[in-house]
Chains A and B, each alone.
Chain A
Amino acid sequence: MPASLEQAARRGESLTLWPRVREAAVALLRQTGRDPFAVVGVTIYAAFAVIALLADVIATHDPLEIQFLASGKLAANQRPGAAFLLGTTSLGRDIFSQLVYGTRSALFVGLSAATVVASLGTLVGLVAGYFGGRIDAALMRIADIALSLPFLPFVIVLSAFLGPSIYNVIVAVALLLWPNTGRVIRSQVLSLRERAYVEAARVTGASTWRILFVHIAPNILPLSFLYGSIAIGWAILTEASVSFLGFGSSDVVSWGYMLQDAFTSQALSRGQYNWFVPPGLCIVLVVVAGFFISRGYEEVFFPKLRD
């Protein structure tokens, strides 16, 4: 066996998943520092993460509790002020507190959907790309089909049938979004498969699963991260739409729920901008943060990704 192959094999053997994950994470962070867009994106994410974690502290009221004025009257449709920072809903609920708790469900939906999308997509991409042949053809056909389902209508029908729950939105998003990740990972695996150190590992008799998860998987982690970060935005947008249409869960406060509440309670005709503008802006911020982050990485890690 040529010396270089042997070396590569030895290097490959010493690789385990976690150091590589750390490496990928460090590379991502380093990249972030270089790209002003990514810095903005990460900052937005971080800010919302803090708000979500400290929601109990930051919120001034229980988001679903009906508030009363000192006079004992229902505190409905209050203007923004000291008592209610962003005013109240038509049922006397505190809008600011809803907004704060909405961060929590947004990040929950976003992160869990992103995790499922990225893992499912990565797994399928790995298997399809590495084994090729019929498995590949079958998986890619399934991906084609999943991509041929109209996204929002499918999510609507599914969440309506599965019942109103935040988990069902996650499931629906995951079912339809994994193929994008899967396809890209697959093509990456196809090229990695031919690399010297993978070849070397094969020659030294490493098991298939070992090659897949120890040698190949770590190299595609940045891609998985990338597609995960795109999925965060999609999931949050989708949850908002589903909730807005009334197929969301009514006991979880989300930004989509707030918008639906505002819409059906005539907030528009009453000009209660303080009610329906903030949740929309929050959605814009979180989603655009994902765009900013992925934009930078796409250019640096995979300049020709789009072809």
Chain B
Amino acid sequence: MRQFLERVLHTLLVLWAVVTILFLMFRLMPGSPLAAYLNDNLSEEQQQLILQQFGLDRPLYEQYVIYLANLARGELGVSFFQRRPVVDILMEAFPNTIVLTLASLVVAYIFGVIAGAFLAWRRDTWIEKTAVPIVLAVRAAPEFWVGMVLLAVFGFGLGWLPSGGTNSPGAAYDSEIERFLSLDFLRHLALPMLTLAVYLQGLPLLLMRSNMLEVMHDEFVTMARMKGLSEWSIVIRHAARNALLPVLTAFTIGVGISVGGNVVVEVVFSWPGIGRLLVRAVSSLDYPLAQGAFLLIALVFITMNFIADMLYVLLDPRVSHARVA
């Protein structure tokens, strides 16, 4: 329990630090976007209004307090260019990112776990010896480049799949769920998901493989053999079950990393998610939107790290009991 509270406190501290870094970054950096924005052909009045609205006419520490207070109320300001609350814009983009992230992670981890367990089981065979360098090479490939190649081949070349966006123009749906389940959406999802999965499968595969190799040497696996249990039971019930713990943690952390790491793939496939939003906001100097998008990504990242910690505690009886005791 104490550890849990410590962990929560630590997470909050980190969150605060990140928020503060962001504040300083956006106010103190050379080429602050405000100048560009205020140089627009706005009237004196409008300019004053915006300055007041963001509290930009006050000293830095006051701005900081206002900033924190706004954040605490979930108030992220209004986009310079879209003239809409940042929160609304983020909430439109976020589901797209989450769906893409989860779909690709699930595919990548299912594949990676099975392939990793298989390679460990067939260790020292030519399959294993060739597969590992290939996996490393695939992991070394920039995601956006993999996306470009897949897009050129399957999107433009063969014309099997659409080349970007989430839905064909003109399609209308009653609800978000219905939209996500539509064939049209899934066809749009296929390529970006595949691109991310190609990159993401490497980690669970390598993790699973090395954990399995380690666990297969553990005495309880030898004992299972002596008991005459079936190979299936030994590999799956005992070895894989133990090797899976760190992989689940990696999955959770992976969700956090991918939400921000998807940026480039979202751009390649014009996927209207948070990452693409961030890139657009940054390039068009839409500072409230960029700040909001970054904060959301960071929040998800930090939260998932926290959950990963907690999950480990829940899933590994050794750790959970040690913490309770």
Contacts and interface: CB of A to CB of B under 8 A. Distances in A.
> Do A and B interact?
yes
Interface stretch (B55-63, B119-127, B132-140, B224-232): B132-140
A244 interface: yes
Assign chain B's interface to a size class. Answer: 35 or more
B29 A161 contact: yes
A167 interface: no
Contacts of A287: 140-141
Contacts of B146: 280
A71 B104 CA distance: 50
A124 B83 CA distance: 45
Contact of A269 (B136, B156, B257): B156
B194 to A, nearest CB: 16
Nearest to A160: B282
A246 B261 contact: no
A167 to B, nearest CB: 14
B31 to A, nearest CB: 6
B156 A268 contact: yes
A245 B156 contact: no
B149 to A, nearest CB: 7
Interface residues of A, number: 48
Nearest to A163: B31
A132 to B, nearest CB: 19
Interface stretch (A15-23, A26-34, A144-152): A144-152
B148 A259 contact: yes
Given A263-B268, A288-B140, A151 B152 contact: no
Interface string B263-306: 11001100000010011001100000010011001100110010
Contacts of B31: 161-163
A276 B25 contact: no
B264 A148 contact: no
Q: What's the dominant secondary structure at chain B's contact region? A: helix
A148 B140 CA distance: 23
Contact of B302 (A148, A151, A233): A148
B18 interface: yes
A291 B157 CA distance: 32
Given A150-B297, A152-B263, A161-B31, A37 B133 contact: yes
Contact of B282 (A149, A156, A285): A156
A37 B130 CA distance: 12
Contacts of B310: none
Given A148-B305, A284-B141, A161 B30 contact: yes
Contacts of B264: 152, 241, 244-245
Given A245-B263, A259-B148, A273-B152, A148 B279 contact: no
Contacts of A244: 142, 144, 264, 267
A288 B135 CA distance: 10
A174 to B, nearest CB: 16
A273 B149 CA distance: 8
A288 B282 contact: no
B17 interface: yes
15 contacts: A148-B15, A153-B293, A158-B25, A162-B30, A240-B144, A241-B264, A244-B144, A245-B263, A245-B267, A263-B148, A269-B156, A271-B156, A280-B142, A291-B136, A292-B133
Closest 3 CB pairs of A and B: A150-B260, A280-B145, A287-B140
Interface of B: 10, 13-15, 17-18, 21, 25, 29-32, 133, 136-137, 139-142, 144-146, 148-149, 151-152, 155-157, 163, 256-257, 259-261, 263-264, 267-268, 275, 278-279, 282-283, 290, 293-294, 297-298, 301-302, 305
